[in-house]
């Protein structure tokens, strides 16, 4: 056998310092090209497929890769699928416990199920609990600066009687009789590549590897029950309505000691009477009278950062803006803040009494402004009717 045929890195076309992802990517590419089903009757393609598959099986295992790096092909003789002291590629059909899920991925791009071509090995251990969702309603000020809020929801929690084991008090789960504690049931069948190993979750123990002979009377062997739970959730500064926070490990409890799921907190922000948010800026409409707009005024605005003085210059028109830098919303993952923008709105007076109307008319006459004729009041209309 040539040196090239025992250089596993060369067979896969990767460097000796290649990462696991690079090795897997190279293997999948070659598997698509060299698989016997793609090259029927091509003995050379089948030989190369066996070589590079064995190379992948060695390099994907940290211990076997270390032995190979240190001792070369001799370091993995006897531990490869072919076994024996001879050619490591001989008797390749006897793949032992080789995981063919990656070959399945190479052709179908999926995770592989318990059956079909090879099948990805089932995940042993109790399944994780469900992810949960809730909504946190916060004020605009809390969205600006961030806050810690309490959320409560009903979800599966660990049974306090059996501590999540699912077994009745005074008893313990035993090793599953079907999967012998592996959490999966494996089946071997023959194919053109030799022995194909498929794995599926064990139904007896729910993939936990442990079965309960005497179930807990409270949770009926589930190891969990429904309950109310509260969590303190950190709301980051700058968050906006409609955004969602993921809190790891705060979801529902898994069956029989399975890991907790995650909690997804949807954020809702209540409208504020003073400010309207636009991206990271805050907007405020400040109403001023005609006299204040014409003659000028110094007004005070209560903001989230305290009071700010707004100087209204004489002759200010509706739409005039005053910008306060860095008084807006905190930008997420940044130190900077948006601005506070004050929009001036000049109010036209309504429901004037006779004295106020007379003063305005006098003001208009001084400025030479044309006005509409005054309309007679109720008594004036009655008086005119009897003329």
**pLDDT given at position 80:** 45
Residues 71-87, mean pLDDT to the nearest whole number: 55
Mean pLDDT score across all residues of the chain: 83
Question: What does the chain come to in residues?
Answer: 387
DSSP letter assigned to residue 215: B
The secondary structure of residue 305, as a DSSP letter, is T
Q: Which of 252, 254, 253, 158 is nearest to 206 (CA)?
A: 254
- pLDDT band, residue 161 (cuts 50/70/90): very high
Q: How many CA atoms lie within 13 A of 387 on its CB side?
A: 6
**Closest-CA residue to 274 (of 239, 299, 304):** 304
pLDDT tens digit sequence for 29-41:
888 888 776 778 8
48 band by pLDDT with thresholds 50, 70 and 90 = confident
The pLDDT tens digits for 200-256 are: 888 888 778 888 999 999 999 999 999 999 999 999 999 999 999 999 999 999 988
Q: What Å distances lie between residue 8 and 13, 72, 80, 189, 368, CA to CA? A: 9, 9, 13, 28, 99
Residue 150 — pLDDT band, cuts 50, 70, 90? very high
Q: Sort strands 340-347 and 281-289 into parallel, antiparallel or unpaired.
A: parallel
The whole-angstrom separation of Cα 351 and Cα 101 is 82
């Amino acid at each position: 056998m040539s040196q090239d045929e025992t250089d596993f890195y060369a067979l896969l076309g990767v460097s000796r310092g290649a990462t696991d992802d690079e090795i897997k990517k190279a293997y999948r590419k070659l598997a698509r090209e060299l698989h016997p089903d793609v090259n029927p009757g091509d003995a050379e393609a089948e030989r190369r497929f066996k070589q590079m598959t064995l190379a992948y099986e060695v390099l994907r295992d940290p211990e076997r890769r270390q032995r190979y790096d240190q001792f070369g092909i001799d370091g993995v003789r006897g531990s490869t699928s072919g076994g024996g002291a001879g050619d490591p590629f001989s008797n390749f059909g006897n793949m032992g416990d080789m995981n063919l899920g990656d070959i399945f991925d190479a052709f179908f791009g999926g995770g592989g199920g318990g059956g079909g071509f090879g099948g990805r090995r089932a995940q042993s251990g109790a399944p994780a609990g469900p992810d949960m969702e809730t909504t946190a309603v916060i004020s605009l000020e809390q969205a600006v600066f961030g806050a810690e809020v309490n959320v409560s929801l009903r979800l599966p929690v660990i049974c306090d009687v059996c501590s999540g084991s699912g077994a009745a008090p005074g008893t313990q789960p035993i090793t599953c009789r079907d999967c012998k504690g592996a959490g999966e049931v494996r089946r071997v069948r023959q194919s053109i590549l030799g022995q194909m190993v498929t794995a599926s979750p064990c139904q007896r123990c729910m993939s936990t590897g442990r079965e309960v002979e005497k179930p807990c009377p409270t949770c009926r062997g589930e190891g969990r029950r429904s309950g109310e739970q509260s969590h303190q959730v950190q709301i980051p500064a700058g968050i906006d309505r409609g955004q969602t926070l993921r809190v790891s490990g705060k979801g529902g409890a898994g069956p029989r000691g399975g890991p907790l799921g995650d909690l997804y907190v949807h954020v809702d922000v209540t409208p504020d009477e003073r400010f309207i948010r636009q991206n990271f800026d805050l907007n405020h409409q400040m109403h001023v009278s005609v006299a204040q707009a014409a003659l000028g005024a110094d007004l005070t605005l209560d903001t989230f950062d305290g009071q700010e003085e707004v100087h209204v210059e004489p002759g200010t028109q509706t739409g005039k803006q005053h910008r306060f830098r860095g008084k807006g919303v905190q930008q997420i993952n940044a130190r900077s803040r948006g601005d506070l923008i004050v929009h001036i709105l000049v109010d036209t007076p309504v429901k004037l009494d006779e004295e106020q109307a007379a003063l305005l008319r006098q003001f208009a006459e001084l400025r030479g402004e044309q006005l509409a004729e005054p309309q007679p009041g109720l008594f004036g209309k009655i008086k005119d009717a009897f003329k």
